[in-house]
Structure 1
Amino acid sequence: MLQLSIRSLNKQYANGVHALKDVTLTIQKGMFGLLGPNGAGKSSLMRTLATLQDADSGSVQLGELDVLREKEKVRQVLGYLPQEFGVYPRSSAVELLDHLALLKGVTQRAERKELVDYLLQKVNLFEHRKKAVKSFSGGMRQRFGIAQCLIGNPKLIIVDEPTAGLDPGERNRFYNLLSEIGEEAILILSTHIVQDVRELCTQMAIMNRGEVLYTGGVDEALDLIEGKVYEKRIEKGMLQDYRERYAVISDKLVSGKPLIHVFAEEDPAGDFKLAEANLEDVFFAKINALV
């Protein structure tokens, strides 16, 4: 079975930032969530896997391919949707996809037309095919980005922060599309949005400051904190006091008051309520080295 094997990958930039620190991951076919805050090293890892930058040390194998040394071969089986991708201002969706397919080596005009039509239908943009991509909504542009990813039936698909800025309806449409294509290749979803990983992935990793803090199943991650997260609504002015006294892993406003989640083996003050474990709590507990 095809797998992506990342071993002891390191990357330090000229400004001294150590973006990747001994990153080791094994990723199988299907959807894999890479979760971490901004600056965690996710984009540095994605750019390295997408052959856009070199690593300082380590190895990456995609099946029989050496990703760090056989870049041209890797690009033939790679689909990449970066956080931001540029488009030609006046190009329609069909013109731009046709151009990209030509660049990917689909030289026969009839074959290219058939492929472009198929891809636009797959991402539900066929009726908008003659419109300029620049005029598309955020969700439509991301779906177009997935269409260009799929040219050439890629074995590895990398999607970097795909749902940032999308409204709930567009996000759900994008979830459905990713879920469908994630059955046919290795698809890495890099995001800081916990819900993206919870909704779509069975396997995941949590990164922070260039290091992998957790790798494994989503359900197994939840098991790490099951029965150890307590919640309480408090007065706004008490938040700092609670932070100093307890291991507060998250807080959010509910009806104008902070609802805090605290990591503890038992009710820390006798007046907390046991909270239902969620992936956001795992995320913060790992980043704060509580588990």
Structure 2
Amino acid sequence: MDLVIKNLDKQYSNGVHALNNVSLTINKGMFGLLGPNGAGKSSLMRTLATLQDADSGSITLGDIDVLNNKDGVRKVLGYLPQEFGVYPRTSAVDLLDHLALLKGFASKSDRNQIVGQLLQKVNLWDQRHKAVASFSGGMRQRFGIAQSLIGDPKLVIVDEPTAGLDPGERNRFYNILSEIGENIIVILSTHIVQDVRELCTHMAVMDKGRVLFSGTTDDALIEVKGKIWEQRVPKTELAGYQERYKLISSKLVGGQPLIHIFSEADPQNGFTRAEENLEDVFFAKLNELV
């Protein structure tokens, strides 16, 4: 079952062109949707999740017309939004039971089995009687994954899942998503390059509603291979380097800016070739250098 998006367009009443002729084909596995805040990622996710309509274009999930058969999509969809609310005093086990009931599981014994399996899967069984509102950020995200898996979905959408998580929780979350992505389509929408690098073999880069790149992570790296150069520079000279070179990124290392630039040929002047990474691809695409 593939997800095929063709010529999708969405413009809001305030004039923002959130989706501009977006076309993507997404197969089974982990797919990373990378872009800065305001790139159109959440608009695309909300459209896929049947929470808003597109102005034009088409989306099919297997033989399901996503834009015109919302009930059909919802039967095979799992969705973890960027923010999701919980009943403040409801335990994890009771809330999952309630969500399973809403999903159509009328049998109490069936719900008990489903809820137990999901809580075990996301390593929250020992905390099942605690209120979800009392969970840490990482625990709440793991609960969010559990609720998104009710009903054995064929498509799971995860929107900005690791923002604010500590490294330990982020790794636990990575492991859960990787396991899920072995059998179904999982779309990971994020502005964190590390999330895509760790989890996804296929990806797209979006900015200002447009798809700037779609392909494998290896294909993305090939586009900048041998063209990324780095150097540590004095803070006082950073502006000058920005004017003279195609600056991709700058970060402080030991209190001194380490800059990456894009150049087809050796720029010399103290630059050395850097090992390219997805962060270089990301910024090169945003700056339309490749």
Q: TM-score, normalised by structure 2?
A: 0.99
Give structure 1 stretches of 5+ with no counterpart: none
List aligned pairs for 1:251-270, cutoff 5 A: 251-270=250-269
- How far apart, in 1, do the equivalents of 2:134 and 2:270 lie? 53
Equivalenced residue count is: 290
- How far apart, in 2, do the equivalents of 1:269 and 1:241 lie? 16
List aligned pairs for 1:123-272, cutoff 5 A: 123-272=122-271
Encode CA deviations 1:147-184: one digit per residue, 9 max, x unaligned.
00000000010000000000000000000000000112
Encode CA deviations 1:205-239: one digit per residue, 9 max, x unaligned.
00000000000000110011110000000000111
Code of the aligned partner of 2:9: N
Q: Which moved more, 1:260-269 or 1:145-154?
A: 260-269
User: Could you say which residue in structure 2 is the equivalent of 1:18?
Assistant: 17
Encode CA deviations 1:81-129: one digit per residue, 9 max, x unaligned.
0000000000000000000000000000011001100000000000000
SS in 2 for 1:224: helix
List aligned pairs for 1:67-86, cutoff 5 A: 67-86=66-85
Q: Which moved more, 1:265-274 or 1:21-30?
A: 265-274
Encode CA deviations 1:167-202: one digit per residue, 9 max, x unaligned.
000000000000000112110000000000000000
- How far apart, in 2, do the equivalents of 1:146 and 1:256 lie? 39
Q: Cα RMSD over matched residues?
A: 0.5
In the TM superposition, what is the alpha-carbon distance from 1:267 to its structure 2 partner?
Answer: 2.2
Alignment of 1:45 with 2:48, yes or no, is no
SS in 1 for 2:224: coil
- How far apart, in 2, do the equivalents of 1:122 and 1:17 lie? 40
User: Could you say which residue in structure 1 is the equivalent of 2:57?
Assistant: 58
Code of the aligned partner of 1:290: L
User: Could you say which residue in structure 2 is the equivalent of 1:117?
Assistant: 116
Q: TM-score, normalised by structure 1?
A: 0.99
SS in 1 for 2:25: strand
SS in 2 for 1:61: strand
User: Could you say which residue in structure 1 is the equivalent of 2:278?
Assistant: 279
In the TM superposition, what is the alpha-carbon distance from 1:269 to its structure 2 partner?
Answer: 3.2
In the TM superposition, what is the alpha-carbon distance from 1:270 to its structure 2 partner?
Answer: 3.3
- How far apart, in 1, do the equivalents of 2:196 and 2:274 lie? 20
SS in 1 for 2:114: helix
Code of the aligned partner of 2:140: R
Code of the aligned partner of 1:141: R
- How far apart, in 2, do the equivalents of 1:143 and 1:271 lie? 46
User: Could you say which residue in structure 1 is the equivalent of 2:28?
Assistant: 29
In the TM superposition, what is the alpha-carbon distance from 1:268 to its structure 2 partner?
Answer: 1.2
- How far apart, in 2, do the equivalents of 1:209 and 1:172 lie? 30
- How far apart, in 1, do the equivalents of 2:285 and 2:93 lie? 44
SS in 2 for 1:21: strand
Code of the aligned partner of 1:254: V
- How far apart, in 2, do the equivalents of 1:181 and 1:5 lie? 20
Encode CA deviations 1:24-82: one digit per residue, 9 max, x unaligned.
00000000000000000000000000000000000000000000000011001000000
- How far apart, in 2, do the equivalents of 1:171 and 1:266 lie? 38
SS in 2 for 1:207: strand
- How far apart, in 2, do the equivalents of 1:44 and 1:116 lie? 30
Give structure 2 stretches of 5+ with no counterpart: none
User: Could you say which residue in structure 2 is the equivalent of 1:101?
Assistant: 100
Alignment of 1:290 with 2:286, yes or no, is no
Code of the aligned partner of 2:2: Q
What is the identity percentage for the equivalent residue pairs of Structure 1 and Structure 2? 71
